[in-house]
Chains A and B, each alone.
Chain A
């Protein structure tokens, strides 16, 4: 009966061949480490955010007079409302943790290199969509931090040449953040996750075209690839179990970790809290914004600090495979960059006075200097490594030609 049903479907829709091609026969490098789990985890978090979000929307009221109280209603009166809300608010932070690890893995192993540029760029588009969704969702509780966060971020668009003021009023639908702003942010916060879902499909189509990268940095021989299912479904689900343990500790025992105390005060357009900070996942970029004493320059630097990742496939000129694994100088740069981002995150959380100001400026300079120096360093590093002699195993890989050369010769990809 089942076989007959599947046969009936297969005549009308490529079900079996799709499952075979994308799952049970989809070739996956057998040497993938747990760092390759985070794409799957991001997908899981997205689904959980959409699910909890839809159920929260059944009880939330997007009106400046009702929004704050409707959150209290969800927390106190709705069955399991507290659970839905804490899953959703903790999930937002968890989403950024997972995405940042996913990006760090890509940077460490050089997974952005040819032929995976489009995979990297669609991922970057996903990050921007995620940031926009998180920012708009943060306004919805209508607390003090919500309000002033939205006020400050919409004000960034004042830096638009010539029509800055009109753009800001248009975005808010009012002269200051108000009811019109809250309602449209709610509508868009509901829409964006589905745009993300669409972008994820594009990301996955690109992934299944070029296949996963792997720690060695070269395209493995066919015998070194194993089917995604059951091998990597099992590995991904084990990783999911570990992730859920950590996630649940925060949801059930430390749910207020990611909720600013000031956000328990209803929004007051007449008074800014003495110290406003964005959510932790925006802190490094916020520090870059503040490091530049000029408003227009600060906004440009902040936008650039995110967009600049797009040039990684071009400015990393080394042909040594395997990213930081076989490249000591690049490895040092990677860890220095991570440390620099952490310093920026610290600076972003401090008041804009005293020692934090010059520290933020130095860290911002280092941030951009890394990208500017990479083209020269990566080239010099390759020459140095080859002059010194590559390890035999790596030499062998290198002689099989690097992925980039292979790609340039039209042999790359599948």
Chain B
């Protein structure tokens, strides 16, 4: 047993108060975690992670929109001129080689959400224009006019057949 002097030692009392407070605060903070975490995507939402897309029937120069994780994905079959034009340029604000953005030059696969605030850009004669804030993207999905800071995102995908891809 501690004697009276030890019990009345102010430094000891002070240390114990601070240590108890620290453990209490840490415990309260840890108890918040389940609540915060519950707001993240649930398991069933996460299982929506892949989408299979059939490429047959998309004409040259045509864009098809499929849904992946609830987001639109543009699949575009590019013409020879479009491929040549895109390979010749580096884009605008966020320079990137066209070759790095495609697996096969005739197929462009990009997430159809403006990297600014997430509107779906509309297809123009060439490239896309975001109706919300006026960002412009070329036929490689690269931003050529702001305010969008980045190129359209290329989702992870792979060809499982000559005319079929799996996104995600």
Residues of A within 8 A of B (CB): 148, 151-152, 154-156, 158, 169-171, 173-178, 180, 184, 269-276, 290, 292-296, 298, 351-353, 357
Contacts and interface: CB of A to CB of B under 8 A. Distances in A.
A156 B114 CA distance: 12
A250 to B, nearest CB: 28
Interface of B: 36, 39-42, 45, 48, 65, 67, 69-72, 112-113, 116-122, 131-134, 146-149
B41 A270 contact: no
Contact of B132 (A295, A296, A352, A357): A352
Contacts of B113: 176
B147 A294 contact: yes
B119 A151 contact: yes
A180 B40 CA distance: 9
Cβ-closest 8 pairs across A and B = A175-B69, A352-B134, A155-B118, A176-B70, A155-B117, A272-B119, A272-B120, A152-B117
B119 A276 contact: yes
8 contacts: A156-B117, A174-B45, A176-B69, A176-B113, A177-B70, A272-B120, A298-B147, A351-B134
Contact of A152 (B41, B132, B149): B132
A154 B131 CA distance: 17
A270 B121 CA distance: 10
A272 B128 CA distance: 13
Nearest to A269: B70
A175 B41 CA distance: 8
Nearest to B67: A270
A180 B45 contact: yes
A174 B41 contact: yes
Contact of B134 (A269, A292, A294, A353): A353
A270 B120 contact: yes
A273 B67 contact: no
Contacts of A352: 132-134
Given A155-B118, A180-B42, A352-B133, A269 B147 contact: no
Contacts of A180: 41-42, 45
Given A170-B39, A270-B65, A295-B149, A175 B70 contact: yes
Nearest to A152: B117
A148 B119 contact: yes
Contacts of B72: 269-271
B148 A173 contact: no
